[in-house]
Amino acid sequence: MSQPFSVCVYCGSRDGVVPSYADAAELLGVSIAAEGWRLIYGAGDIGLMGRVARSAQAGGGNTFGVIPVHLFEREVGKRDLSTFIVTETMHERKKVMFMNADAIVVLPGGAGSLDEFFEALTWAQLGLHAKPIVLLDIAGYWAPLITLLDHVVAQGFAEKSVLDFVQTVPDVPALLALLRSAASARSVLTE
């Protein structure tokens, strides 16, 4: 039996200052469950991470969390997930999350979320995967990042095609439409 369509969510271990970040995280979790998809995330029970997971669980969703041993206490490792994996390193965490995902979604977050985003983007640029990478641009949070990517291209440090590997959506309904399309494409490939 094949795994359900799996959405890897990179996001903050804090809530941030804008309430709509938390609202979007909760709506995304509920929506992933309602679609019958599997949530893959960093296994924390704090910040946006915890909100996405608790909402997915409340909706009866399949949750797959991966946390490195050194962050277990700091991020309050959420043991009551469908699948809970503890790794030795951050590198292992990212690899396990990425390898089990069909799509990457990036909610507002800090340096860790940026690290995860740029690794997925770099791998796509190098032709190592073709998974959708989507920035959920709640309240314009990712606008400076999009400007930075445009600047990198304009300054000759990347081909314009690097921008084709990233999609940006303003809200969860737009994200769901995009993910439904990706899930349909995946099911056609696996039939």
Token pair listed for 94: 């990212």
Residue 137: how many CB atoms within 10 A of its CB? 21
The pLDDT tens digits of the residues spanning 94-133 come to 999 999 999 999 999 999 999 999 999 999 999 999 999 9
| Domain 6-185 top-level CATH class | alpha beta
Q: What pLDDT is recorded for position 70? A: 86
Token pair listed for 48: 């946006």
What percentage of the chain has pLDDT greater than the value 70?
Answer: 96
Question: For the whole model, what pTM was predicted?
Answer: 0.94
Token pair listed for 115: 């690290």
What's the CA dihedral at 82, 88, 92, 94 to 10 degrees?
Answer: 60
Q: What pLDDT is recorded for position 2? A: 77
